[in-house]
Every structure is written in C-alpha cells, then in structure tokens.
Structure 1
C-alpha cells in the first residue's frame, strides 16, 4: 500500500499534468455547465445572498466557511459521478 507521501506526490503529479495539458480548464468548464444546468449554481447564489444579508459585518471568509458543508454535500450525485468518470478516464490515459 502506498504511503501518504507517495499518494500526495502522485496527486500533485496528476494535478500538474491536468493543468499543463489544459485538461483542468476543460473539466472545470464541463462541471460549471453541468452545475448551471441543474440549478445548483442558482441555489448556491441564493443561499449566499441570504446568508450575507444576515451577516454583520459581512465577511467573505466567514460566508464561505458557513457554506462549505452545503457546497460539498449538495452537488448532485449524477454530476459527481460523471465528473469522476471524466477524471478517471484522463488518469487511465496517462498510464496506458
């Protein structure tokens, strides 16, 4: 079993290749489009506005920290699965 350092090094290498190849930008664009189409972005924008209205003083960091659990858990499972497949396909191509 790989050590934590080995795993982190592999992760960094894959991430670097994604960025260098332009694949990271393509994946982000796909994700943004899927989230927009599903209404997720509008929901998050609405939640952000509501939370910001109640916040005194307004702080982006506090707002983001408060929204983080929702952000991480509310991505539709179908979109999460599709994006994982896109990333997995890229990684598999790199190790052919």
Structure 2
C-alpha cells in the first residue's frame, strides 16, 4: 500500500511539473502568504531569534530549524483550503494519471 501511495505521489508531482501547474500553485501560494501578512510575521520571528541569540551566533540553518515549524503553523487555513481545492480540480481534469 505504501508503494502505491508513493507511486501515486510521484505521478501527481510529475504531472504538476509537466503542465506548469506546480509553478502556478507556488506563485499563488506566494501571493496569498504576502496578502495575509504571513511573510511579515516570519520576518518578525527571524528578527526575534537573531535578537535572542545574537547575530554572530545564528546561522541560516538555525533560523530554518526554529522558523519552519512556526511558519507552517502560521499558514491560514483558508490558504491551505484554496490550494487543496486547486490541486483537486487539477487532478479531476487529468485523465491519464
């Protein structure tokens, strides 16, 4: 069952790439995250981490480790739902997956 699921994910991802839909979805996501203030919230979070640890003591990897879970949690449900619906619509339009 896990192999079939992995195979399906690979197939869907390949189709998203081939059709250019993946790039369109990424651009939609960027736009929505800017519109809702998510990007600004993450900037503030990064500044707080740098202020707490000190600029000399923070690496990009440190920031990614600390900020990634917060960033994922801050994505509004409405944005997640919109992207999921776009993916579902895309998949419904594909006949040869």
TM-score for the superposition, normalised by structure 1:
0.88
State the superposition RMSD in angstroms.
Answer: 1.5
What SS is found at the alignment partner of 2:57?
Answer: coil
CA distance in 1, matches of 2:61, 2:28: 26
Aligned partners of 1:62 and 1:6: how far apart in 2? 36
Give every structure 1 segment of 4 or more consecutive aligned residues whose post-TM-superposition deviation is greater than 6 Å.
none
CA shift, 1:74, in A, is 1.2
Q: Quote the residue 2:32 is aligned against.
A: 34
Gaps of 5+ in 2: none
Paired residues for 1:36-75 under 5 Å: 36-55=34-53, 56-75=56-75
1:19 is the counterpart of 2:17: yes
Secondary structure of the residue that 1:54 maps to in structure 2? helix
TM-score normalised by structure 2 residue count: 0.87
Structure ranking higher on relative contact order (CA contacts 8 Å, 6+ apart): 2
What is the aligned residue count? 94
Give the unaligned 5+ runs of structure 1: none
